[in-house]
Amino acid sequence: MNDDPKTSMRYLLSYIMEPEVSINFTLLGTSSKRAIQKCRFYGCVRSALTNRSLSSSVTEKDLAKLYDMATQSYFHDMRDKVQKRHRRKKEHVESSVFKDITNSQELFESP
């Protein structure tokens, strides 16, 4: 794990949560997604990282901002990743269906 607080937070979130699970969360929550800040495990992760990264040059408030930015960007990236997967699967299915249709038409057109 890196000494950079943002990188450490992203690493831990990716280790704990699969992309398909993480798309159900946001930092503060919405009507359709849960707030990660209200989850006990997230508080433990933040506390552990804060104790590890706290120094005389970095305040707890600054670390909290870094963790919030890292968490938001992690969830944004995971949503993009999952959407991209679904889009690729859909394109693959559509192309295979098109190939099947083309092949079946060739069978009917054969003498």
Encode pLDDT of 52-81 as tens digits: 777 767 788 888 888 888 888 888 888 888
pTM for the complete prediction?
A: 0.60
pLDDT of residue 59: 81
pLDDT at 17 over 60: yes
pLDDT of residue 98: 65
- Asked if residue 21 belongs to a domain, the reply is yes
- Asked if residue 107 belongs to a domain, the reply is no
- Asked if residue 111 belongs to a domain, the reply is no
pLDDT tens, position by position, 20-55: 888 888 788 888 888 888 888 888 888 888 887 777
Residues in the chain, overall count: 111
- Asked if residue 10 belongs to a domain, the reply is yes
Q: How far apart are the first and last CA of the chain?
A: 66
Are the beta carbons of 39 and 83 closer than 8 angstroms?
Answer: no
- Asked if residue 84 belongs to a domain, the reply is no
- Asked if residue 11 belongs to a domain, the reply is yes
- Asked if residue 52 belongs to a domain, the reply is yes
| Residue type for position 67 | Y
Structural domain tally of the chain?
1
DSSP 26: E
Are the beta carbons of 26 and 75 closer than 8 angstroms?
Answer: yes
- Asked if residue 86 belongs to a domain, the reply is no
